[in-house]
Amino acid sequence: MNLLNGASFRRMEGAVQAAEMRQRVISNNLANAETPHFKRSEVVFEDLLEQSMGAGSAKRLSGSLTNERHIPIGRGTATVPLPQLITDETTAMNNNESNVDIDREMSLLAKNQLSYNLYVQQINHDFRMIRTGIEGRV
């Protein structure tokens, strides 16, 4: 039984790591907002995860393995992508050619904090459910 090695747990773990990385990147953007010629960066993860899960493609047949010698079918074989850092080199916001918009970065920071809290709550819920199943009580 793959409780902690299952695909859903790996996706949640990847989402938490991406949120942590995004927090550092946004903080770096804000710290360097007034630095001449600084170009903002952002973290891309959710779109990559969607693509790896086959969102938008035709409905796939998925199967479950009842024997370790069976061939895996469907989405369970997909790996979780790593978050990617992208730097926007094409735009400029200020006279010093920096492209950091403080208001936008602050709203992205708040959005990221909410996402991180959601991911951690979901992982905590999953662990509580596992614990309830082991202990056999509520």
User: What's the pLDDT band for 1 if we cut at 50, 70, 90?
Assistant: very low
Is residue 82, in this structure, part of any structural domain at all? yes
Domain count, the chain: 1
What does the mean pLDDT of the chain come to?
84
Per-residue model confidence (pLDDT) at position 77: 47
pTM of the model: 0.75
- 109 lies in some domain: yes
E strands within the chain?
41-44, 84-87
Q: Is residue 2 part of a domain?
A: no
- Which domain, by its residues, includes 48? 7-135
In a domain, 1, yes or no: no
**Does residue 111 fall inside a structural domain?**
yes
